[in-house]
């Protein structure tokens, strides 16, 4: 393996479940490339692989939720890591709350951030979404889930 790709994979990240609603449809997906990128106004950046259904939903002004997973919440990694096809129910067996805007929030998540897309741009094989944080809270004590990949060439 290329040594630089091995080193790139060592950049730590959290594990997150992005949730969104479009019309009557709702979905969620596992994400690892989420990062705070501004204090004022509070904003996050999210890198999403092109071709994922949720990537198409997050156009300018779209609302979504970043559910921050807690240490050891592997059940969410397994559930949301498989991905969902269009129209497939993403939240069967998952306890939800609703954000002020009516978006799905994982009730058992460590924390969540309600966000609104302010811009996006291509970033190689991903799209970089910049979103303003509009609301959020910490749901439980403990630590967020930390993830380190073995390679910078794949998830």
Q: What is the pLDDT of residues 40-77, one digit of tens each?
A: 999 999 999 998 889 999 999 999 999 999 999 999 99
C-alpha–C-alpha distance, residues 122 and 15, integer Å: 22
124, pLDDT greater than 90: yes
Q: What are phi and psi of 131, to 5 degrees?
A: -135, 140
Domain contains 45: yes
Domain contains 67: yes
β-pair partners for 104: 98
Neighbours of 122 (CB within 10 A): 9
Residue-level pLDDT at 146: 94
Range of the domain at 74: 16-147
Domain contains 9: no
- When divided into structural domains, the chain yields a total of 1
Domain contains 3: no
Model confidence pLDDT, tens digit, residues 97-123 = 999 999 999 999 999 999 999 999 999
Domain contains 23: yes
Domain contains 10: no
- Indicate the SS3 state at residue 5: helix
Nearest residue to 60 (alpha-carbon basis) of 137, 155, 4, 131: 131
CATH value at residue 63: 2.30.110.10
Domain contains 54: yes
Predicted model pTM: 0.95
């Amino acid at each position: 393996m290329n040594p630089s790709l091995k080193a790139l994979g060592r950049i730590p990240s959290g594990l997150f479940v992005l949730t969104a609603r479009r019309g009557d449809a709702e979905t969620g997906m596992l994400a690892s490339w989420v990062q705070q990128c501004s204090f004022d106004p509070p904003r996050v950046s999210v890198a999403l692989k092109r071709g994922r259904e949720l990537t198409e939903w997050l156009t300018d002004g779209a609302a979504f939720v970043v559910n921050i997973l807690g240490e050891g919440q592997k059940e969410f990694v397994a559930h949301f890591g498989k991905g969902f096809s269009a129209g497939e129910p993403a939240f069967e067996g998952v306890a939800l709350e609703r954000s002020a805007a009516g978006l799905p929030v994982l009730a058992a998540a460590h924390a969540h951030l309600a966000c609104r897309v302010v811009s996006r741009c291509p970033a190689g094989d991903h799209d970089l979404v910049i979103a303003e944080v509009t609301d959020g809270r910490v749901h439980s004590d403990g630590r967020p889930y930390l993830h380190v990949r073995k390679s910078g060439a794949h998830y």
